[in-house]
Structure formats: C-alpha cells, structure tokens
C-alpha cells in the first residue's frame, strides 16, 4: 500500500497537449515533496500522471505575459512538458522550490553514502595492511 505524501500545493494548471494543434488543457495538479501529479478534467478520481522529481531535470523557459506565466518542465530524458498558469499564482516557483529541495536532499544522501563507502573501504584496507592480518 502506497502512503499518501504530504501535499505542498493543489490547484489548477494548464498543460499544452502533445497533439498536432497543441491545445491548452486544464489539469488538477497536486505538488508533493517527491512529485507533481496531473489529473485530467480536474478530478482526482481519474488515473493521474505522476512526474516524480527523480525524473525531472529542471523547470525552464519561464515567460510572463500580461495574463499567464509560461514554463517548461524538462525531464532527464529531455522531454519538454509545457505549462501555463495565471500570472499571480506562482506555480512555477512552487514547483521549482520543491524540485530544488528534492535534489538537495538527494545530493546529501548520495554524499553521505559515498562517505560511508569510502570509510568502510579505508577500514578494510587498514585491516589488510596489518602485519599478520588474514586477507
């Protein structure tokens, strides 16, 4: 059973479709510390698409017009997903801050893991370097 992640923010965004006409479609969006979930037609009842922050490279191409803020989420496989939100909603900032927090925590975990592995390797080397120590 998957535990429900703490919701940072929930609301509406518009996503540009991948179709030929590239229409803007409203999505219910749920932002957590680990992902951004998109639900069609504004209902969480329907199956949503989850963009895990582990698969997101960056939030890019922020442009402000009089009515909207346009931004692009770039995935690690270089797929670009275009969004827009009302000018004052600051969804792009909320997503960017959550992504940075996720990436920082991941970097700290990776650093600590590397440090622990290096310390363990150093202990093993010292043990093997002792006179009379068995390999």
pLDDT of the residue at 52:
95
pLDDT of the residue at 102:
95
Residue 1 lies in a domain: no
Residue 103 lies in a domain: yes
Q: What is the pLDDT of residues 56-76, one digit of tens each?
A: 999 997 888 889 999 999 999
Q: How many CB atoms within 10 Å of residue 72?
A: 16
Low-confidence ranges of the chain (pLDDT < 70): 1-4, 42-43, 45-46, 122-135
pTM: 0.79
What residues make up the domain containing 120? Answer: 7-128
| Cβ pair 53, 69 in contact under 8 A | no
Residue 2 lies in a domain: no
Report the alpha-carbon distance of residue 7 to residue 48 in Å, rounded: 15
Residue 86 lies in a domain: yes
- Beta strand spans in the chain (E): 7-16, 24-32, 35-40, 49-52, 56-64, 68-75, 80-86
- Helix count (H) and strand count (E) of the chain? 1, 7
Q: How many domains does the chain have?
A: 1
Residue 34 lies in a domain: yes
Residue 134 lies in a domain: no
pLDDT of the residue at 42:
67
pLDDT of the residue at 134:
55
Check which CATH number belongs to the domain holding 50 and give it: 2.30.29.30
pLDDT of the residue at 1:
40
Residue 50 lies in a domain: yes
Q: What is the pLDDT of residues 75-91, one digit of tens each?
A: 999 999 999 999 888 99
Residue 30 lies in a domain: yes
| Cβ pair 61, 71 in contact under 8 A | yes
């Amino acid at each position: 059973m998957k535990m429900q992640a703490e919701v940072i923010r929930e609301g509406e965004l518009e996503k540009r479709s991948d179709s030929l006409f590239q229409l803007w479609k409203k999505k219910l969006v749920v932002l957590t510390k680990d992902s951004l979930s998109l639900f069609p037609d504004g209902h969480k009842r329907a199956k949503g698409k989850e963009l895990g922050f582990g698969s997101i490279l960056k939030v890019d191409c922020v442009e402000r017009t009089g009515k909207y803020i346009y931004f692009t989420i770039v995935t690690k496989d270089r797929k670009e997903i275009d969004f827009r939100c009302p000018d004052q909603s600051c969804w792009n900032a909320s997503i960017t801050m959550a992504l940075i927090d996720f990436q920082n925590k991941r970097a700290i975990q990776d650093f600590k893991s590397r440090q622990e592995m290096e310390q363990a390797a150093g202990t093993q080397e010292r043990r093997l370097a002792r006179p009379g120590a068995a390999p």
